[in-house]
Amino acid sequence: MSKRAVILAGGKGTRLKPYTVSLPKPLVPVGEMPILEIIIRQLAKSGFDHITITVNHMADIIRAFCGDGSKWGVTIDYSLEDKPLSTMGPLKLIHDLPENFLVMNGDVLTDLDFGSFYDEHVRSGNIFTVSAFTRDQKVDYGVLEIGADNKLSDFIEKPTNRYNVSMGVYMASNKILEYIPENQFYGFDHLMLDLIKDQHPATVKIHSGYWLDIGRPDDYEKACKDSTENNFVF
């Protein structure tokens, strides 16, 4: 069965400057190859044969590097945004999306099994599946718990809070296209709230392996270090 994936690669990568001054963020090298190539190779290994890359900022550079995908044994085509449409908005521009397809950010480094993620979504019949990761966030201060009378009710020294966060990797039914407006800025947050409001909430799948969103210089430096210790192209 043919598997389709959409890679979102239209952002400017502002937070990753100076690395993104002359390169689009998905082409910044991590180890021996750009993060976008790592993703494409992972998708190809997982059985995806058709990849659409949404482009805007430095689109020509991404097209020149990826070409038609033949060097990785996949078909690659492109969807050009005339203006920033956030994460879900670009999907409305792609008119041949199948019943189910994978969507992911072009700056995610993970060992997630994309093929199994796809298959589980299809079997479950979900309208949308979010791959999530559990993050621990340490608070560097002593936290004061204050009662209604402004009296101290508890004190917690430098607590660690735990959150489940989106990995930027999703499986979608084409039914979500009904929620996405034409040529308007529409993000993942908008879609999640609209699905909840319409009583069709997304399903969340927790990933317990490796995940890193390469959004800031320190994330990028960690990714480069981790790439020498892990084989992300499986």
* All structural domains of the chain: 4-227 (3.90.550.10)
Per-residue pLDDT of the chain (234 residues; tens, 9 = 90+): 789 999 998 766 555 555 445 577 888 888 788 999 999 999 999 999 999 999 987 888 999 999 999 999 999 999 998 888 999 999 999 999 999 999 999 989 999 999 999 999 999 999 999 999 999 989 999 999 999 889 999 999 999 999 999 999 999 999 999 999 999 999 999 999 999 999 999 999 999 999 988 777 677 777 777 776 665 554
Q: Report pTM.
A: 0.89
Which of 54, 47, 184 has its CA nearest to residue 107? Answer: 54
CA distance 190 to 194: 6
Q: Cite the DSSP H helix spans in the chain.
A: 35-45, 59-66, 114-124, 188-197, 217-227
What CA–CA distance (Å, rounded) separates 163 from 158? 16
Residue with tokens 């009662």, as numbered in its chain: 147
Those residues whose C-beta lies under 8 Å from the C-beta of residue 109, and which sit 6 or more positions away, are 30, 35, 38, 210, 211, 212, 214, 223, 226, 227, 232
Contact of 16 with 217, CB cutoff 8 Å: yes
